[in-house]
Structure 1
Amino acid sequence: MHSWRIQVFLGSRMFSTVGDQLLQFAVPLIVYTATGSVSLAGLAFMVEWLPRLFSLPVAGLLTDRFGGRRVYTVADGLRAVACALTLLALFRWPAHTFAWTAALMAVCAFCYAQAFIALESTVPDLVPEKDLAKAQSVLQVINSGAGVFGPALGGVLLIWIPPTHLLSVAGAMFAVSALGVLALKGIGSQASRDAGAVRRSVSDDLRVGVRSLTAKPVLLSLVGVSMVVNLMVGLAVATGAALTVGHFKQDDSVFASLQMAVGVLSIAAFVLMPWLLRRVSVYRIGAVAFVVSAVGGVLMGAAPTFPAYVLGYGLCIGLCGLFNVFIRLERLHWIEPEERGRVISLIVLLNQSTMPMAGLLVAVVGGWLPVQTLFLVVGAVASIVYVLVLRPLKSRAVTAQPVEQALSG
């Protein structure tokens, strides 16, 4: 195993992640700047997330059949081409900005799911088992760092170029990522060789997942709590550009401060995680992160000034990484190892279903109800879920035990 291959892969992943963050920063801004409609901005967010959800089961089958390297390369290559074609279309037919950007996000959302699952498949082919934990930590740092660097890069570039030109930068990053992984020959081939031996249908995988999920009340509780968190996050992301530029009357470049606030808090949380694990249980970390996210949502709903809104935005999304650690560790204790992939794919599908739901909610009611009111309503729902679901879960949660006991249980 050559270290240069790992470095090329991680570098490629860094370009891909920054490109994805830059795209998520640019598209809501492009839509709102062109249309002035918060409803269309919310609809664009829904269009972005629906393909991610429905393509998750397909992603696993494609990776098993064709190999992680090939699927990853094609996925990022398609995203690069889609960005270039959309930019050309926006120059030629600017009156159809929403349609072109919505189509772009649909394509990129589908490819994101393929690249994500392919990533999980490719890492073990590159990294020795003893170094897997370190590699996953580096990938987490890349993801968190991209949350800061991507919007910051977008904000700086907006000084010289219009929002639509950010698509060319994102497309170039996807192209570099695809070429980097394409150069790593000899990985991901085992999946292709074994493809004929394993031919699972999507419907069979989903049936197994549904049966295992419904048999475990704890898993259902975890799904319910995660759906509420993702609904709050979805509302925040779907309305960020509209509230920043429209309601608070800030410049386009200031919109980057939202994502930067999230990235800084995410990195800080990641750094503090080992210190926290030595002092409190994983359940307590997850519960506190849930409460802080809900408080951030309420703060966004009640914020009289833009700085207060940025603080609420950061609190709502910035600690999601800590909450996700609790969710991922807890559910592993309740899923049989031989069913883990199929059940988790269904859980992720349900968890993230409220992301496009948030976009649909904004699209439906954003024209006649103040967007900030939605945050107050969802904050109230989160309070009810905490009292009725998350707090009672402590008596059954394995992660409510001391860290050493929970990990060995």
Structure 2
Amino acid sequence: MRGPRSRYYALRAIGWLADQLLLFLVPVLAFKLTGSLAWSGIALTAQWAPRLIALPVGGLLADRFDVTAFYVVNDLVRCMAGLAGVLAIILFPDEAGATVIVFSVVAGVCCEQTLVAGEKLAGRLIPPEIMPGAQSLLGSLEQGALLLAPAIGGGLVLLDTVWTALVITMLFFVSLAIAFSLPEGRRTEKPDRPISGSLSSLAGELATGLRTIGRIPVLLGIVVATMLVNLLLGAIQTAAPDLVVRSYGHSEGVLGTMYTVAGIAAMAAMPAMNRLIRRFGLLAVAAAASLTQAVVFTLLTSASLFWVFAGLVAVFMIGDSMFTVVIRIVRITVVRPDEFGRTVAAIHMLNFAPVPLVGLILAAADGRVPLGIVIPTIGLVTLVSLALLMRRLRPLVAACPDLHPLEEKRKARALVP
């Protein structure tokens, strides 16, 4: 099984890298091709809205079909979309912007489908006794993709758009080859539910996942906090190209360097997470990370020098990585295994629901309200909301028995002289 597990890790790493390249490049390319913040916001919205719809669909289909075959089908669709996109950019260069957005929509939907399939595939290929270590490795691979994508994307932005689409398509073909090499599920396995009535089944799956979140108050609180943090992250992804080019006079390619440095800083902070959580507790780390993110976001447009702006983005990304660790711990700890698939789909859908919203907000504000007003306003509202939410979470964490072992370990260490 070591061989299939190694290929599984490679599959997830390639998938995350391709997905992060799309998430980084699409708003940047939209701004580069149009010079408009509005189009950058529209591109972000067009990229994320179908992804959110695809998440519960992925949970529904992954529960009814062999997960390896499900992965292969989505990779095939991504490869075909990539080839079609490359051909369209070559034949119709004036429509490259629209082609990139359409390509990102199709590929993004498949990426979310493979996200759900990848989570479920872990249960087949990874024994329970090594699951904690495997999750740590997967977290490191995801962070590595977050680090590499801006570095690669920054270089691709400087090249023709066709090369960008071609590189991402090549990654999809690598993913497809790995997916083909994974073992299929047992053919004697049957779906837990009938395939008929897909629309009602989809609504039922989504409702069940949402009910699970609502039934666990501490999980609901963390999900709401994540939605607020991702609102800020979406605003940075949309506004950064405009700020870097117009406010500081740099090219879009500089964004890749900026995000890469921020990613390195975030990776460097990760080894300290275990010690911080053990010493101060999950809630304290979550509060410190999220509130710091809101503060530095509020200050973004007040930075007069580019290196100050880049430093604030780096601090934001460090906080984002720290908060992500808390999310993973809470999710794995409080959600029952039999509810994990549909609940993860619902969590991801809620987590990123604010991203297309903030894209529309910034698109509507372009030319009407300066970013120097929009960004601080969003930041201050989010900061107050997070402060109130973290105060509300304190008794919820104390009332959650599943998290008590973590807190007891922290208290026991605190008593050691």
Aligned partner letter, 2:23: Q
Which digits, 9 at most, give the CA deviation of each residue in 1:271-324, with x for residues without a partner? 221221231101111001101111221221322222122122222233223213
Q: Answer whether contact 1:212 1:343 (CA < 8 A) is retained.
A: yes
Root mean square deviation of aligned Cα: 2.6
Aligned partner letter, 2:376: L
User: Does 2:349 align with 1:353?
Assistant: no
Which digits, 9 at most, give the CA deviation of each residue in 1:352-395, with x for residues without a partner? 11011111111111232222432211211122113322123212
Which digits, 9 at most, give the CA deviation of each residue in 1:47-84, with x for residues without a partner? 11111111111101111122221222222332232222
The aligned counterpart of 2:408 is 405
Aligned partner letter, 2:142: N
User: Does 2:263 align with 1:263?
Assistant: yes
Once residues 49 and 194 of structure 1 are traced to their aligned partners in structure 2, the CA distance between those partners, rounded to angstroms, is 33
Once residues 179 and 403 of structure 1 are traced to their aligned partners in structure 2, the CA distance between those partners, rounded to angstroms, is 41
1:106-145 equivalences under 5 Å are 106-145=105-144
The aligned counterpart of 1:88 is 87
Aligned partner letter, 1:166: T
Aligned partner letter, 1:85: A
11-20 or 46-55, which deviates more: 11-20
Aligned partner letter, 2:390: L
The residue matched to 2:299 in structure 1 has which SS?
A: helix
The aligned counterpart of 2:172 is 174
CA positional deviation for 1:212: 4.6
The residue matched to 1:391 in structure 2 has which SS?
A: helix
TM-score by length of 2: 0.88
CA positional deviation for 1:99: 2.0
Which digits, 9 at most, give the CA deviation of each residue in 1:81-100, with x for residues without a partner? 22222222122223323321
Q: Answer whether contact 2:63 2:192 (CA < 8 A) is retained.
A: no
- Give the unaligned 5+ runs of structure 2: 411-417
Once residues 115 and 250 of structure 1 are traced to their aligned partners in structure 2, the CA distance between those partners, rounded to angstroms, is 36
The aligned counterpart of 1:73 is 72
Aligned partner letter, 1:277: I
140-149 or 111-120, which deviates more: 140-149
Which digits, 9 at most, give the CA deviation of each residue in 1:193-218, with x for residues without a partner? 22265658112223334445455554
Q: Answer whether contact 1:280 1:402 (CA < 8 A) is retained.
A: no
CA positional deviation for 1:241: 2.1
Aligned partner letter, 2:63: D
Count of residues paired in the alignment = 404
In structure 2, relative to structure 1, the CA distance for the partners of 1:394 and 1:236 (3 Å cut) is same
In structure 2, relative to structure 1, the CA distance for the partners of 1:5 and 1:216 (3 Å cut) is closer
CA positional deviation for 1:221: 3.3
Once residues 212 and 11 of structure 1 are traced to their aligned partners in structure 2, the CA distance between those partners, rounded to angstroms, is 31
The aligned counterpart of 1:246 is 246
Aligned partner letter, 1:325: V
CA positional deviation for 1:170: 1.1
Which digits, 9 at most, give the CA deviation of each residue in 1:110-144, with x for residues without a partner? 11111100101112222222222222212111111
Q: Answer whether contact 1:31 1:98 (CA < 8 A) is retained.
A: yes
CA positional deviation for 1:158: 5.3
CA positional deviation for 1:253: 2.2
122-131 or 227-236, which deviates more: 122-131
1:209-228 equivalences under 5 Å are 209-214=209-214, 218-228=218-228
Once residues 245 and 77 of structure 1 are traced to their aligned partners in structure 2, the CA distance between those partners, rounded to angstroms, is 37
Aligned partner letter, 1:230: N
The aligned counterpart of 2:413 is none
The residue matched to 1:139 in structure 2 has which SS?
A: helix
Once residues 148 and 334 of structure 1 are traced to their aligned partners in structure 2, the CA distance between those partners, rounded to angstroms, is 29
CA positional deviation for 1:326: 2.7
Aligned partner letter, 1:167: A
**2:189 is matched with which residue: 187, 193, 211?**
193
Q: Answer whether contact 2:116 2:341 (CA < 8 A) is retained.
A: no
Q: Answer whether contact 1:298 1:312 (CA < 8 A) is retained.
A: no
TM-score by length of 1: 0.89
Aligned partner letter, 1:296: V
Q: Answer whether contact 2:60 2:205 (CA < 8 A) is retained.
A: no
Once residues 354 and 54 of structure 2 are traced to their aligned partners in structure 1, the CA distance between those partners, rounded to angstroms, is 16
Once residues 353 and 316 of structure 2 are traced to their aligned partners in structure 1, the CA distance between those partners, rounded to angstroms, is 18
User: Does 2:32 align with 1:33?
Assistant: yes
The residue matched to 1:307 in structure 2 has which SS?
A: helix
In structure 2, relative to structure 1, the CA distance for the partners of 1:75 and 1:371 (3 Å cut) is farther
